[in-house]
Structure 1
Amino acid sequence: MTVPALADLLTPADAEALAAAVLPAAVERFVGGAAGAELTLRANRAAFDRLHLVPRVLADVSSVGTTRTLLGTESALPVAVAPMAYQRAVHPDGEPAAARAARDAGVPFTACTFSSTAVEDITATGATTWFQLYWLRDRGHTGELLERAEAAGCRALMLTVDTPRMGRRAADMRGAFTLPDGVSPVHFGARPDGVPRTASSGVSAVAAQTANVVDPSLSWADLDWLRARTRLPLILKGVLDPDDAERAAACGADALVVSNHGGRQLDGALPALDALPAVAEAVAGRCEVLLDSGVRSGTDVLKALALGADGVLLGRPVLWGLAAGGHQGVLRVLHLLGEELESALALAGCPDLAAAARLRTVAGPGGEPR
């Protein structure tokens, strides 16, 4: 197989081949893999593939706008970089390189609780940064992370709500996955639970460490504690059920992320794109709605907007770009996504993102228009 050079990439998804050429096999499996039989991983893509757009014509698209305000900050695209752990496992420059690319592309970057670079070093890049939080067994440590995120200048807090425990990821278990030397969750410092232990056969060290520190008792009642301790806008990530979306909006969430964790949690869960219309209807504009899981192209972004999303989170393609070329690799992926979105908007007869929200869609051959 001929692997293209970074400059030869024509789509964000093309970066996957470059990443595969440079990543150790275990790390590639960790990035690309999912839970169980990976049914939901494949279903996420199938949902995008079977959804068809109904373009409008005779619209003046001589100028097409892609900017959107997300959580109070203007973004050049209706896109933010998703929270992804241990980015130094795919490239030594890790999270700061990806954050600089997000800054240069004009989109938000989400720093992760299990980041391999400190949140202070990420915000120092000048990127608009959101902080993703896992609910930790050590409530004091949770509070410390909140304080650090605010002090570092993060603009929003994203609480992941679909991970009371890590999904069973067979590839990582079979390979007894451990992080590469020198890569660790720096927000845990010298704590005894902070560095993933060496895995035994059939055990992922990352899964074992996550089980040790993430609190599965997280419930709706804990949102009051969280709200009382942060002034940041609150995003809940991992919502698929419209009843949960309704309750989150009633609790004052500023945004929801419709997500199945890229297929990495409950295998067999509903594709995020299929869950999106009901969630958007349930919240009825009371909070922003973002889509995560399976986004690979600008046309995917347009489909999400047509089904009611305010924007999307981009995950694996960012890691592929980072592995392939560090800062420049991620920037190339984000620029390609923007070019694809601008082209898709024009071809669909949408001069702006508001027009995209009015597009009709048809789900599959013979499907009913939405």
Structure 2
Amino acid sequence: MKKRQRTVVALVVFLFLVVFVGALMYGSYSMTAKDVVMTLFGKGDGMQNIAVLDLRLPRAVTAVLTGAALSVSGCILQSVTKNDLAEPGIIGINAGAALAVVLLISVKSTSYYTALGFGTVLLMPIAAAAGAFISFLCIYLLARDNGSVRPVKMILAGIGVNTGINALITLYQLNMSKGDYNQALAWIGGSLWGSSWMYVAMTAPIIIVLILIVFYKNRTLDVMDLGDELAMGLGVQVERERKIFLVLAVCLAACATSVAGNIAFAGLIGPHLAKRLVGPVHKRQIPAAACLSSILVLGADTLARNLFSPLEIPAGIMISLIGVPYFVYLLMKER
């Protein structure tokens, strides 16, 4: 690794630590960085323990897992589709997972303030995976051409499916009770409200294992970036590997959506910035993208719950305020 890249990595890690500690400091009960560190080492008082260990830390860890999962999913989709604008939120995978989770929540709860039970949380990743895979199956079937998947067609099919699913969510909302509507609205906007250690325990092992699998296959992604013909010439079974990577991308997006709702653009911005900072080699890009998107989700969530306190807006809206202009910039750049 070059000296410049080592410096960039060090700065990204430092920024991550600053944002992470900041997420634990600020809220209705503010603390200093020293108080946070002392609490993490078991030397905080009762109020500090509740604020940090019970409320803010599981939420921050959930934000990190969400950002990492979406960014790695975005890295995969951009390489597999050969399109720098691809990410799980844009092509409909997140929307399918969000629709399934919203349906589950509406069945299991009757009030916005009702805590989700262990059984519901246990079913959330399963429901999200089912919704994401149904959405992905529709996209895959629409993108097939003579037995193989056309990357450009997949993007167009994904945009169409994403629009259709969002229309279904809106239609479903019209028939919801007020409590269920509020609960569903939080998921659609992408919110980390109510995150707990139970959420972390359910999703962390799956997300970590999936990211490790993708990282292990980073060289295959590098070869696939060169184009299908050259990749086949180098011995890569392109169609087989493409299917494997698409399944990994869908699972990562589903896990993230199951705990954070439909957060768009986190899987777009992280991989792009990482490619600019450390280059297109996935051995470096994947960890950098995971870290950058984690910073993005953490920062957005911290702003979302403090900017208009005591009101809290969905973190997904904060990310979209950054993501939409960045997406337009990339579109203009592609022309």
TM-score, length-scaled by structure 2: 0.30
| Bigger RCO (CA 8 Å, 6+ sep) | 2
User: Which structure is higher in strand share?
Assistant: 1
